[in-house]
Amino acid sequence: MSPLPREDPRTGIDPQLYDSHSHRMSRRSKHRPAPIRESRGHGEALARLIAQLPACTSGRLATIDPYHDTVLNEQAARPALRETPALLDHGTDDARAEAVPGLATCLKDCSTTPGSYLALVGG
């Protein structure tokens, strides 16, 4: 099955922040790690904003795939956080304007929490 084209906004992105302890769980464990922070409710708007970024952009946000999972560690979250204000330059409606602060909060928490990672769950 081939991935959807980048312009398709029919999906959503749910940012989920995990700490380093949940990452070290055994692969055999049936217990799934619980996120320490989630940003829900603006997934479709966030996916549309990410999909509008030019593919040739060299920033961290352009590496996020709105249709598949993307993981950013604390080092990658720092530059991505600096790029969040630029998301509002791509034309915003109320839903998109509300999605950016949620993403920025998760990126900030990730960048300031040693050993954490941010899973951007697309789908």
Using DSSP, state whether 98 is helix, strand or coil: helix
Q: What is the pLDDT of residues 60-80, one digit of tens each?
A: 888 888 888 999 999 999 999
Q: Please give the pLDDT value at position 82.
A: 92
Q: Please give the pLDDT value at position 24.
A: 47
Q: Please give the pLDDT value at position 47.
A: 87
Instruction: Mark the ranges of the chain whose per-residue pLDDT is less than 50.
Output: 1-10, 23-25
Residue 73, token pair as written in the block:
């560690």
Residue extents of the structural domains in the chain: 37-122
Q: Please give the pLDDT value at position 62.
A: 84
Give the position of tokens 């991935």. 3
Which of left, alpha, beta for 15 (phi over 0: left; psi -120 to 50: alpha)? beta
